Amino acid sequence: MSGGRAAALLLVGVLIGGISGGATAVYLTYRAAESPSQPAINVGLPIATASPAASGTADEEIVGVVQDLLPSVVTVINYASNGQPQSSGSGFVVDAAKGYVITNNHVVEDTRTSGAGASFDVVFSNDKKTSAKLIGRDPFTDVAVLQVAAQGLKAATLANSDEVPVGALTVAIGSPLGEFQNTVTHGIVSAKGRRVAETSQVILEDLIQTDAPINPGNSGGPLLWAATHQVIGVNTLGVTQATGINFAVSSNTVRQIADEIIANGRVVRGYIGIQYSPITPRQAAQLGLPTGTIGIIVSQVVPGSPAEQSGIQVNDIITKVNDQVIDADHPLSSLLVKNRPGDKVKPQ
């Protein structure tokens, strides 16, 4: 960091709804006083142990898991504030007694009204429809939780995704294109622990890669481990430039985020309190920086924020956080997203 002020920052804020700003500017400015630091939370989504539900051929395993868990899968319809459907996706029940449904953040995100006035329905595999309440969402993991007041629900079980081996047979269920409800595809676990940029500022981590097709509308549905009939991930995105490369948020990440959303209605994270933009080659030349310098330049410091208290000033250059270079693969928001209020980070 320029000026020799590379002091540790104490994160004291809350990051709950996403990143505000345009393509080159980001605000991280939520206040700690509104939501103090919370301990790790587990409110009841159990960790399953990996035990085969049945043994047989691949076809038999696929048929078995579909027959077992199809009633747990729902279609999620997102209505704009004017009452018109604006998007749809998939989801699945994780708590039958309390009616909690897991889906993707981008399925419930209201792009036309920024969340104001949006409403939701879920449609079950038997075509019954009911309204749903949004409990909370997290754009940094693409996880959201809905709640329905319905009886006779069947819940799916979240697996310990650390236990699923690469090569395991997978089944994806959802509603591709918003109209082909209860569509089933299958594949294998191609890899684990993948990192993928969902946007320029959001890097999804701990993803499970699968070649089971995930099409628009499948988002939010379960990726199932055929051998155990357990959910190992939430189908999230696919690579449009290639076939057979698709990703799901791991069930371990989903469990952690869903538990916190259910407990708090949001995910509590730290902030430092700056507005910034990436350094361009032209700026680097004007500032006399070495060719190839990458990082961010501070354009605004929030009064009273951790950044101000640590001495960060406008026009400071930050190239690293905790020795990790800030670049396209590691934007500042991604480097800070795992921190909580009270954690310390070191900018350079």
Tokens 């019954």 belong to 128
Tokens 């961010």 belong to 296
Using an 8 Å Cβ cutoff, are 138 and 15 in contact?
no
Amino acid at 172: A
As a whole number of angstroms, the distance between CA 238 and CA 248 comes to 9
- Is 259 labeled as catalytic in the residue annotation? no
Helices (H), the chain: 58-69, 105-108, 251-264, 281-286, 306-310, 332-336
Tokens 């696919």 belong to 238
Helices (H), 85-143: 105-108
Structure tokens at 30: 């939520």
Q: Catalogue the long-range contacts made by 128-136 (C-beta closer than 8 Å, 24 or more residues apart).
A: 132/76, 132/101, 134/108, 135/100, 135/261, 135/262, 135/265, 136/261, 136/262, 136/264, 136/265, 136/266, 136/267
Please tell me whether residue 107 adopts helix, strand or coil conformation.
helix
As a whole number of angstroms, the distance between CA 95 and CA 262 comes to 11
- Is 106 labeled as catalytic in the residue annotation? yes
Structure tokens at 5: 């002020």
- Closest by Cα among 228, 251, 125 to 171: 228
- Is 229 labeled as catalytic in the residue annotation? no
Catalytic residue of the set 110, 121, 142, 316: 142
Angle at 271 (CA atoms; ends 266, 277), nearest 5 degrees = 120
Catalytic residue of the set 95, 106, 206, 333: 106
Catalytic residue of the set 72, 90, 219, 310: 219
**Backbone phi, then psi, for 255, in 5-degree steps?**
-60, -50
Residue 154's alpha-carbon distances to 41, 71, 191, in angstroms, are 24, 6, 29
- CB-based burial label for 49 (10 Å; 0-12, 13-18, 19+): exposed
Catalytic residues: 106, 142, 219
